Chains A and B, each alone.
Chain A
């Protein structure tokens, strides 16, 4: 049943996905509103799907595909928070495709992996997953904002007449969305990694520092910290910030992909 709700959500996200592509070429307030409502409805279905999964009694949170579903939901939540504050759907141009992709992967092939070893640490596990995914979601939004910042900066620099009517909000608004996401996401990411390390240590009795997930997660966190620091200390924006955000985002993707090869997260096999 959880999968059914997720597929409903996917249908709604598909409308938002179309908006993301259309918005790159033309501006339509109506379509923007439709996409927003579709995304909101999708979130409702998505939430029901996640709740059903949680109350089903199976601990499937740490399955890769369930994780993708949760990350999609949290990314959409961040988008909605940004929308509530700044009244702009522009970050959807980046967020909607990411959310659709994650939800699609989760909806087509959901295979729970039971985390038998972790059942005694259920609370810590849930905290780890929620914290780290919230950090990821913030990173997605921050990355999206960085790309939009570059786009808007380019439009303003090239001085095209269309820059006056583009769908993008003001440069400073985009900057604020990116920066606040970064600030919000960083403690979550830090605590998420910390709880993950504790979880691994208590489960296996030691932490495998050479595990690809651990190394990549550490790298991602370091870049994340560098982004926060350079912004706070020197006010890095624009290209330099976008390069860091892109690096952190791809480090996160690679770290995520490394789950398939990691011994830490391949709990069922251990």
Chain B
């Protein structure tokens, strides 16, 4: 197990830093390729969401220079970045990935979206060949663990989502949401979810604007709303009381002067901007205007923190599951390390068995079908009994630090030459554990 992970998330780095590390979806395949080709890295993938940017790798010797990769890729100095980074190795990587996939490390604990995002990142890396054996094992297990956490605990039920927090905040500004107008800028999934919540709480009408007009039209149609051309955004935005924005723009699209225009046209009626984009779509200067309320992704984190305590118990249960799964996965991985030796041993003894049967066949004379079966069973039984102790010892030793010594001893005793086990064989040996 030579896993290594480096990254930033909503707890370790402010939005300003995460904005600089954000990787657009379109660039994910490239960075995965670059990562897999980087010195000391065998496999690699990148998880990039609005709350985290993480690089997960299987390294050659467990000490790849991942910080160097980040500095080089993002053109950032150590002073700018290093204070915000966290780094995990081996077992800690497994635990962290299990926690991330199970939404225990999320801004909103229990929210379901992160699992989908991790799956997408995995699929992207796999498609470009950056994820193969070891990371494949890790993420396949992580998805199974996430499913188990969701099934066996209530951490995902009554999830306090960004959307529900947005509704709560909107009510703090507007009281009743009856008759209010919502404007979605950037037709993302999260915006859609937030808009759905707001509409369910009484908002009357909805506008949607997106750089790709067709996507805006499609989303608007789902809400019986109106699609607005992106060029008309600033002329129509003041008609909305609540603006949910999540574009992929690298710069703020709503600046102070826009806020001033909106307020003047609205006769200073308040506007609520829910900015779930990273980098942010709404300039921090906007928040300084009377009557404009902006909540970015970190502010929403603050708002949900009070709700997290309610689900502490369920989260504790989920953590216990993660712990046992990490142990189990670690054991399984270690077992896989001795699989080639076990396979070689099995092949070696099978060859001897076959050779011995062939050698005595002439002396045995003609055997009936029943006798053939009996000989097969007898010889296989002997082989299995002989192999039982070394295989058990190997599997037990695999979990201990003495694994290498035991493997060496077995190889020497039986004069084995190691050969790679097929994935099917690995699976078979692993599950027999």
Contacts and interface: CB of A to CB of B under 8 A. Distances in A.
A245 to B, nearest CB: 14
B400 to A, nearest CB: 47
Contacts of A240: 290
- With most chain B CB atoms within 10 A of its CB, the pick from A165, A169, A172, A239 is A172
Contacts of B302: 159-161
Given A161-B305, A170-B173, A170-B174, A156 B290 contact: no
7 contacts: A156-B173, A164-B303, A165-B306, A170-B171, A172-B173, A234-B267, A237-B270
B284 to A, nearest CB: 12
Nearest to A161: B306
Contacts of B168: 164
B362 interface: no
Interface in A119-164: 152-153, 156-157, 159-161, 163-164
A170 B178 CA distance: 14
Contact of B269 (A159, A165, A170, A235): A235
Interface of A: 152-153, 156-157, 159-161, 163-165, 169-173, 234-240
B299 A171 contact: no
Contact of A170 (B175, B268, B303, B306): B175
B100 interface: no
Task: Rank and list the top 8 A-B pairs by shortest CB-CB distance, nearest first.
Answer: A235-B267, A170-B175, A235-B268, A238-B290, A159-B299, A173-B175, A161-B306, A172-B175
B306 A172 contact: no
Contacts of B266: 235
Contact of A237 (B171, B174, B291): B291
B287 interface: yes
A233 to B, nearest CB: 8
B413 to A, nearest CB: 65
B295 interface: yes
Contacts of A234: 267-268
B432 interface: no
A126 B12 CA distance: 68
Given A237-B268, A238-B290, A171 B173 contact: yes
Interface residues of B, number: 23
A236 B268 CA distance: 6
A172 B267 contact: no
B75 interface: no
A171 B268 contact: no
Contacts of A157: 287, 293
A164 B306 contact: yes
Nearest to A166: B172
A230 B175 CA distance: 23
A169 B306 contact: no
Nearest to B272: A156
A164 B172 contact: yes
Given A235-B266, A235-B269, 7 more contacts: A156-B169, A161-B302, A169-B175, A235-B267, A236-B268, A238-B268, A238-B290
A156 B306 CA distance: 15
Nearest to A175: B270
A240 B268 CA distance: 11
B303 A159 contact: yes
Contacts of B268: 234-238
A156 B272 CA distance: 10
A92 B173 CA distance: 20
B295 A171 contact: no
A240 B290 CA distance: 9
Contacts of A159: 295, 299, 302-303
- With most chain A CB atoms within 10 A of its CB, the pick from B266, B268, B295, B299 is B268
A155 to B, nearest CB: 8
B305 A156 contact: no
B274 to A, nearest CB: 12
Nearest to A240: B290
A142 B306 CA distance: 33
- With most chain B CB atoms within 10 A of its CB, the pick from A152, A157, A160 is A157
B349 to A, nearest CB: 66
Interface string B64-107: 00000000000000000000000000000000000000000000
Contacts of A172: 173-175, 270
Nearest to B287: A157
B179 to A, nearest CB: 12
A238 B291 CA distance: 7
Nearest to B288: A157
Contacts of B172: 152, 156, 163-164, 170-171
Contacts of B293: 156-157
Interface string B146-185: 0000000000000000000000110111111000000000
Nearest to A236: B268
Contacts of A152: 172
Nearest to B290: A238
A156 B171 CA distance: 11
A257 B99 CA distance: 67
A177 to B, nearest CB: 11
Nearest to A237: B268
A88 B172 CA distance: 13
Nearest to A171: B173
Interface in B223-248: none
B241 to A, nearest CB: 9
Contacts of B171: 170
